[in-house]
Structure 1
C-alpha cells in the first residue's frame, strides 16, 4: 500500500512538471512570434519599407547560396509595397512569405542584425536597436573610384596601423578586376559602397541606365564579397529624384570635398581636409591617387589630435540611412535629387 502511495505521488509530481513545462513552452512560443504589418514595423514610412525590401533581397541571395550572376534576378522578385501586408517576428528575425519567384523560395527570415535602423526599435531585440549617439566628435573618411591594385592595399595598411575604419565607394568594373582587394576592404572592418559601373553622370544617362549601372555594380560586389552594398554614391554627386527612388539604396554625398583629384598634392590635400572638417562631416577623398593615399596618415593623426573619432558612414549615420534620401553629414539629409 505504501509503495502504491509513493507511486501515485511520484506520478502526480511528474505530471505537474510536464504541465508546468508545457505551459512555460506555450508562453515562450507566444513571446517569440508575433504577426505584424509592414505599416506597424515602419510607422507607414515608405523609405523604411524600401530598406526592408533591400534587406530581403540580400537574404534571398544568401539563403539560396546564389552567385553574383543572380543579383539581377533578385530585383525582379515581388516584395511588399503595401503597408497592410503582414510578416512575423520570430526569435531569429523577420519572417516574410514570398510570391512565386525564379529562386523558388516561399519564405525568408531576415536576421534582426540586418534590420537595425530600418524597423522601429520597439520591434527589435534590445541588442539590435539604435541608441542616441553624439556625432560632434565623429568624422567619416570616404574614398572613391577604387579599388586600385597598389594604392588601396597601401591605404588599408594605414587604416589598420591607426586602428580606424573608412567607407570605400568602388567602381564595378574595378571590383570585377580586383575582387580580392574588395574582400580585403571588408576584412579590415571597413564598408563598401556602390559608385556605379564605369563612372557616368547619372543625371545625363536617365533612370533606366542609372539603375543598370547600380545593379551591375551590386552584382560585381556580391560576386566578390558575398554581400550587397548598402549605399550608393553617384559619380560627381549627380542624381535625380526619380533615380533616387528607383535605386532603393541610401545615397551618400559629402560635406567636405578634399578636391584631391585636382591638386594631386599631398600637402594641399591635408590642408583642405583639416581646414574644413568638423564633427559629423563626411570627407570625400580618392584611393586611386598616390598623393591622396600619402596624405591619409597625417590627416588621421591631426584629426585624432583634435579629439575626433574616425568612423564608417554607418556609424556616423547611426545605422539609420534610408533609401530615397541623400546624406551629406550626420545631421544633413534631404530627398534624393534635391
Structure 2
C-alpha cells in the first residue's frame, strides 16, 4: 500500500515538472492524492506530531504574509494532537484542513522540504528524506547572546573565510535592536535559534513567563528573517519539565562548554574547546566577547587538522530534532527538563 502511494506521488512530481515546462499531462497520469493519518506519518510519535505542528505554524504565517505582530496568534491556532486525524499527501506537500481560526485559513499545504525529519522517511520524496551524517567527525559551533553590532559581523567574516557555517542562539531584544545583523547571519548560510528575550533563568521565572519569552523572541526573529526559529536554547541551559512540554520547539543544549564567558581569554578558550571536543559535539561559545571571536580561527584550523568537519545543529542532528526533547550532541538527547 505504501509503495502504491509513493508511486502515485512520484507521478505527481513528474506532472509538476512537465507542466512547469509548458507541457500537458495525459489524463491517465493525473495525480491522485493519498490520505494518511498522523499516526502513520509519525509512527505514533507525539514528538513528531508536535514537529508537524511547528511546520504548520510557519506555513500559516507564510501563506497569509502575516506581520510579526501575528506570531503570538499562530500559537493559538488549533492543530492536530490526535494520531487518528487525517491529512493528504499531494504532489507539492502535506495538505491539512484547519479548524476556524483568526487567520481565516481553511487549508494549508506544508512543503515536503519543511517536513524532513518530522515525517517518517517513506512518506517523503527521496530528496527530502533524512540520511546519516556524511562525516563521522562532525561538530557544530554555536554562539549565544548576540547579535552584537561589532563582534557578530566580525565572526561572520571569519566563518566565511573558513567555509564554515554555525548556529546562532540570539537574544530577542538584541535581534529587535539589530535586525539587519540577524538577516546577515541567515544570508550567510547560518542558522538562528531562540535564546529568550532578555536572558532570564527559565527555571526561576515560571512556565508562563518562559513561554512568553520564547514567543516574544520568535516574533523578533520572524520580523527580521520571515521565519520562525526552529530551536530554543534556554539561558544557562536551565529548563523545567513543564516548560519543555509547553515550549513548541526542540531544546538545544551542548556537550562542550568553552567557558569563554568565564575565561575572557583567547588561549584558554582555544585550549578548552580542543581538550573537550569529540565527534558529534555541540560546542558552546558566545559572539559578544572579543576573545571568544578571536579564538575561532584557531579552533577551526586545529579541529580541521584533526579531521573534523563543521556543520549546523540541524545537520549534526540529521534534521530530526523534535519538540519536547533536549539535545546535547549527535545521538545524545532526552526529554526536555529531565
Q: Do these two structures clear the TM 0.5 threshold for a shared fold by scoring above it?
A: yes
**CA, structure 1 residues 220+211, in 2 after alignment: closer, same or farther (shift >3 Å)?**
same
Q: Which residue of 2 aligns with 1:3?
A: none
Q: What is the CA deviation profile of residues 270-302 of structure 1, one whole-angstrom value per residue up to 9, with x for unaligned ones?
A: 000001101100000000000000000000000
| Aligned twin of 1:202 | 202
Counterpart Cα distance in 2 of 1:313 and 1:217? 19
Change (3 A) 1:215 1:23: closer
Kindly indicate whether the alpha-carbon contact (under 8 Å) linking 1:135 and 1:279 is maintained by their aligned counterparts in 2: no
Partner of 1:42: 42
Contact 2:239–2:336 under 8 Å retained in 1: yes
Structure 1, unmatched stretches of 5+, are: 1-21
Match of 1:29 among 28, 31, 51: 31
C-alpha separation in 2, matches of 1:132 and 1:73 = 36
State the match for 1:94 in structure 2: 94
- Report the Cα offset of residue 67 of structure 1: 1.1
C-alpha distance in structure 1 between counterparts of 2:299 and 2:26, whole Å: 57
CA RMSD of aligned residues (A): 1.2
Number of residue pairs the alignment of both structures matches: 315
Structure-to-structure mapping, 1:151-300, within 5 angstroms: 151-300=151-300
Contact 2:31-2:91 within 8 A present in 1 as well: no
What is the alpha-carbon distance in structure 1 between the residues aligned to residue 133 and residue 315 of structure 2? 9
Q: C-alpha separation between the residues in 2 aligned to 1:297 and 1:230?
A: 27
Give deviations 1:60-83, integer Å, cap 9, x for gaps: 000000111100000000000011
- State yes or no: 1:313 paired with 2:310: no
Q: SS of 1:62's equivalent?
A: helix
Give the Å deviation of 1:331: 1.4
3-state DSSP of counterpart to 2:192: strand
Alignment map for 1:26-175 (pairs within 5 Å): 26-30=28-32, 33-133=33-133, 136-175=136-175
| Alignment partners' CA distance in 1, 2:133 and 2:330 | 10
Hey, what's the Cα distance between the residues in 2 that align with 1:206 and 1:251? 17
1:8 matched residue in structure 2: none
Task: Assess if the C-alpha contact under 8 Å between 2:135 and 2:309 holds in 1.
Answer: no
* Structure 2 CA distance for aligned equivalents of residues 23 and 149 of structure 1: 53
Per-residue CA deviation, residues 99-151 of structure 1 (Å, 9 max, x unaligned), is 10000000000000000000000100011001122553101000000000000
Q: TM-score, normalised by structure 2?
A: 0.92
Query: Which residue number corresponds to residue 9 of structure 2?
Result: none
> In 1, Cα distance between the equivalents of 2:271 and 2:315?
25
Give me the whole-angstrom Cα distance separating, in 2, the residues matched to 1:248 and 1:324.
7
Alpha-carbon offset, residue 248 of structure 1: 1.8
Asked if structure 2 preserves the Cα contact closer than 8 Å seen for 1:327 and 1:333, the reply is yes
How far did 1:241 drift? 1.0
